[in-house]
Amino acid sequence: MAFSALDVFRVALIYPIVNYGLDVNSNLSIFDTIFQLIFPLDVNPFIASGILLAVTTLFMTGFEIIIAYFASLTFASVRNTTDHLVFKILKSQPYEYFAGHKQGDLLYIGQIAVNQTGSAVNNFIIFIQNLLLCTFYLLFIFILSFEISIFILIFGVMFVFFIKKIIFTRIYNHGRILNDVSKVKSVIYNEFISGIKSIFITDSIKFWAKKYDVAVEKLLKSYTKVVFIRRIPGIINNFILFMIIALGAIGLYIFTDGNFLPYIGIFGTYLLALYRMIPALNGCQTQYGAIMQQLPAIESVYDLLKDYEDSELSSEKVADKKREKKRFIFNQAITFRDVNFRYKEGLNNTIQNLSFEIKKNSKVAIVGNSGAGKTTIANLLALLYKPTSGGVLVDGVNIYDFSKSDYLRTLGYLGQETFVYHDTIKENIRFGLECSDEDITEAAKLADAHEFIMATPDGYETIIGDQGMKLSGGQRQRVAIARIMLRKPEILLLDEATSALDNVSEQRVMESVDRLSKDMTVIIIAHRLSTVQNADVIHVLKKGKISESGTHKELLEAKGEYYNLYTKQKQHN
């Protein structure tokens, strides 16, 4: 506010300078009285105005620096808070949430939308600053000339109405389209990077390039429209400004019958005020347009927040939070009791009324055809999904009644794909656990990984490329086993852990697992029956139900489902 007032005052100082310069004593405006009061009679108004102008400018520069600093601080703080908030929300979401959303959409929120939110707040600050400036100048020009200003005001209101109705609605709509198109581009980009191996092998780069080009073309069209429409108000403003100057000059000449000198001070100051006001008005419109364009991105952050609040308030979550969590103790057995599960409301049950037991320190295998529900069982055990009804119990206690981290710490999970990230082998084994380098070497030795790690150029300090591109599948799995061993789990869950490996690698990985799992409860989910023959119990799963159970020998003798699977696989080998 003080900044706007000073800016207007600075322009008002032109008035005495012009009048004194032209030696006009107009007494046409209230400003004549004000300046006569400000400047004592013995002071040269030319010098006094110059000094005041310099002092005001100094103050204003200071103000501008302070405002710029606080605006950047606000932008950075809002961005920072939104960054934290988005990640806080994401990290507290259940696994289902990630499975149900496109990665690209989530990336868009975390990267682009967060930035847009910060910028929108910054734009809002500049909008308010410009709005105040416009208001002060409007008051000023009214004081200078009521009649002309009322005409400009009516014209201005009509213009703002037109701009809002036609231009800003379009900016918002195109902003939405731009938002959607940006998301699509981000999804394709992300899929291309994460699927690069399959894309290379299938020689489908051209297909992806085309998909990307289409998205980028749409983005180009969208951007062109938004950027163009956003500039229109400014162009019209400039047109109006210079038309006012032109018509004003003609009008002044006609109105004063050529004797316009006494009015030059007012006219010049008026024009200068307009000249300052119009960019401020432009600024208002530009910032408002930018906010409209950024609104859809802000809405996606808001939707994320809303989903989170709704889920936090859901009766299930509230009850779960209130429930006291027990320390994880496992002495007897893990029991699946009447478990039913479906992935989504409306879909058929993937797991149907499933009941079976896994005794402590036993080795249990679950086999079956593709789509039978084997991985779903692993997902339920790993707390990735919750049974729709029934429960998974450990020594009679529902696994959801244990402290989540307590339970997961005792569960070692080895899947088909091992997640390794761009860091050293050592950090990939540590995976965030506080432990010594000796512990890591020990775990790698147990996992039969030490030898190959030492053969890499920098040993444990060797950087593995993204997605472990520099390691073989078997080596990646042994890094994963080392990671698990470091955590000393009580339960080992192997979900098709060797199905991506060749026979030799599979054998080495299974030998490591056998060696390490003597005092562990091992659950092996497998397609290939070669890995489960020494299990204490093998359960054969069919359409989400156990169709038969027994040892390898018993099941072969029974000549049922297992026997069929076994003979089919033997024929293929």
Answer for which of 183, 211, 374, 450 binds ligand ATP (CB under 6 A) is 374
Per CB under 6 A, 117 contacts ligand ATP: no
Per CB under 6 A, 373 contacts ligand ATP: yes
State the minimum distance, in angstroms, from the CB of residue 202 to ligand ATP.
Answer: 20
Part of the chain binding ligand ATP (CB under 6 A), chosen from 255-263, 267-275, 365-373, 398-406 = 365-373
State the minimum distance, in angstroms, from the CB of residue 134 to ligand ATP.
Answer: 54
State the minimum distance, in angstroms, from the CB of residue 88 to ligand ATP.
Answer: 25
User: Does residue 66 sit in helix, strand or coil?
Assistant: helix
Our CA angle for 227, 233, 239, nearest 5°, is: 125
Which residues lie closer than 8 Å to 294 by C-beta, 6 or more apart?
116, 117, 119, 120, 123, 175
Comparison of 48 and 366: residue with beta carbon closer to ligand ATP: 366
Q: Pairing mode, if any, of strands 333-341 and 389-394?
A: antiparallel
Per CB under 6 A, 343 contacts ligand ATP: yes
Per CB under 6 A, 531 contacts ligand ATP: no
Site string for ligand ATP, 66-105 (x = CB under 6 A): ---------------------------------x------
CA distance 524 to 534: 11
User: Does residue 330 sit in helix, strand or coil?
Assistant: coil
State the minimum distance, in angstroms, from the CB of residue 372 to ligand ATP.
Answer: 4
Please, which residues bridge with residue 132 across strands?
none
Part of the chain binding ligand ATP (CB under 6 A), chosen from 138-146, 235-243, 373-381, 478-486 = 373-381
CA distance 445 to 453: 10
CA distance 385 to 258: 87
Per CB under 6 A, 539 contacts ligand ATP: no
Per CB under 6 A, 370 contacts ligand ATP: yes
| Region 441-480 residues binding ligand ATP, contact defined as CB under 6 A | none
Q: Which residues in 28-67 are b (16+ Cβ under 10 Å) and which e?
A: ebebbeebeeebeeeeebeebbeebbeebeeebeeeeeee
CA distances from 32 to 50, 140, 148, 367, 492 (A): 17, 14, 19, 97, 91
CA distance 93 to 115: 22
300 sits in which H/E element: helix 264-313
Answer for which of 129, 350, 467, 475 binds ligand ATP (CB under 6 A) is 350
State the minimum distance, in angstroms, from the CB of residue 476 to ligand ATP.
Answer: 19
Per CB under 6 A, 349 contacts ligand ATP: no
How many residues make contact with ligand ATP (CB under 6 A)?
12
Longest dimension (CA), the chain: 122
CA distance 144 to 30: 8
Per CB under 6 A, 527 contacts ligand ATP: yes
Part of the chain binding ligand ATP (CB under 6 A), chosen from 154-162, 363-371, 395-403, 530-538 = 363-371
State the minimum distance, in angstroms, from the CB of residue 391 to ligand ATP.
Answer: 18
Per CB under 6 A, 375 contacts ligand ATP: yes
Q: Is the dihedral of CA 194, 198, 201, 207 positive or negative?
A: negative
State the minimum distance, in angstroms, from the CB of residue 544 to ligand ATP.
Answer: 7
Comparison of 195 and 371: residue with beta carbon closer to ligand ATP: 371
Site string for ligand ATP, 486-525 (x = CB under 6 A): ----------------------------------------
Per CB under 6 A, 348 contacts ligand ATP: no
CA distance 121 to 74: 8
Cβ atoms 194, 417 nearer than 8 A: no
Nearest to 174 by CA among 224, 127, 212: 224
Part of the chain binding ligand ATP (CB under 6 A), chosen from 29-37, 104-112, 369-377, 403-411 = 369-377
Per CB under 6 A, 371 contacts ligand ATP: yes
Answer for which of 376, 410, 467, 505 binds ligand ATP (CB under 6 A) is 376
Q: Which residues contribute to the site for ligand ATP (CB under 6 A)?
A: 99, 343, 350, 368, 370-376, 527
